[in-house]
Amino acid sequence: MTLKCSVLASGSTGNAVYVETKKQRLLIDAGLSGKKMEELLAKVDRTPRELDAILVSHEHSDHIKGVGILARKYNLPIYANEATWQAMEQSLGPIQSEQRFHLEPQTVTSFADLDVETFRVSHDAADPMFFTFHHEGRKLALATDMGYVSDQIKGTIHGAHTLIFEANHDMNMLRMGKYPWNVKRRILGDMGHVSNEDAGKALSDCISSHTQQVYLAHLSLDNNMKELARMTVSQVLEEKGFYSEGKPPLLDTDPYRPTELISV
């Protein structure tokens, strides 16, 4: 098993996931400053120098803040779809044309010994997409920033050995919380983010006997708590018969600390 991953940081303060095989080292989004991204990679004994590319899911700042800086400093290629390129152009700063690459939704692209499949998600960005990674029969799925989890998405990520899946907010915390109504409506809407309960429901259609672990990701700082996310998701899964005695393990992600670099 040589497909490895670490969720370097996750949440509205910045997102980044590191994925590697023997021949390929990818950064998926870089939503913190360049310096922070260097520090996070160092915590899993990696450096941006070793990266082969940065893949960008969508142009929101919690996914691209460090992309331009890292790409310039370490001469890294950036992959994003056409609409995302247009939308993030200004925020990235100058990027050489030989560092610009296209990766369109609903495609499979080989990065050396790693196949990257992209799928569109429903979210309020230009053309947001997320990824599954395939290597030597192992499958890793990354799916956050979704207002709504379609059957097509469930089909694409179903049976992944490791899932990194959004559990953004607790419905009640969000409803009762301090956010203005228009922001609440955005988060709750079909173009917003997945609640803990909806994460549980969607995951019950994605987990299979192959699933080794599920990371709960992109937790809201104001409207969620790690323990609450785990509890709600596990309850829904348990009711549907997809979770018992701590299996599959539901693992935390953190806004400031990478998860262990694990084999998928």
CB of 23 to Zn ion, least distance (A): 29
Q: Residue of minimal CB distance from Zn ion?
A: 60
Q: Is the peptide bond before 105 cis (omega within 30 degrees of 0)?
A: no
CB of 125 to Zn ion, least distance (A): 6
CB of 130 to Zn ion, least distance (A): 11
Output the CA–CA distances (angstroms, integers) from residue 211 to 88, 159, 160, 164, 165, in the order listed: 34, 6, 6, 11, 13
SS (H, E, C) 37-78: HHHHHHHCCCCHHHCCEEECCCCCHHHHCCHHHHHHHHCCCE
CB of 88 to Zn ion, least distance (A): 12
Q: Rank residues 62 and 198 by Cβ distance to Zn ion and give the closer one.
A: 62
Q: Rank residues 62 and 127 by Cβ distance to Zn ion and give the closer one.
A: 62
Q: Rank residues 114 and 194 by Cβ distance to Zn ion and give the closer one.
A: 194
Instruction: Tell me the CA end-to-end span of the chain in Å, nearest whole number.
Output: 7
CB of 75 to Zn ion, least distance (A): 26
Q: Which of these, 167, 165, 160, 166, lies nearest to 264 by C-alpha position?
A: 160
The side-by-side arrangement of strands in the sheet containing 138-143 is 108-111, 114-120, 129-135, 138-143, 162-166, 213-217, 250-252
Q: Which of these, 30, 29, 22, 16, lies nearest to 4 by C-alpha position?
A: 22
Q: Rank residues 60 and 65 by Cβ distance to Zn ion and give the closer one.
A: 60
Number of residues that bind Zn ion (CB under 5 A): 3
Helix intervals (H) in 177-225 = 181-188, 196-204
CB of 13 to Zn ion, least distance (A): 10
Q: Rank residues 68 and 147 by Cβ distance to Zn ion and give the closer one.
A: 147
Enter the tokens of residue 215. Answer: 């990371």
CB of 63 to Zn ion, least distance (A): 6
Helix (H, G, I), strand (E, B) or coil at 236: helix
| Interaction of residue 29 with Zn ion, rule CB under 5 A | no
Binding mask 44-83 for Zn ion (x = CB under 5 A): ----------------x-x---------------------
Binding mask 208-247 for Zn ion (x = CB under 5 A): ----------------------------------------
Q: Rank residues 29 and 117 by Cβ distance to Zn ion and give the closer one.
A: 29
CB of 124 to Zn ion, least distance (A): 7
Q: Which of these, 173, 166, 165, 148, lies nearest to 225 by C-alpha position?
A: 173
Binding mask 130-149 for Zn ion (x = CB under 5 A): ---------------x----
Q: Rank residues 144 and 234 by Cβ distance to Zn ion and give the closer one.
A: 144
State the residues that interact with Zn ion by CB under 5 A.
60, 62, 145
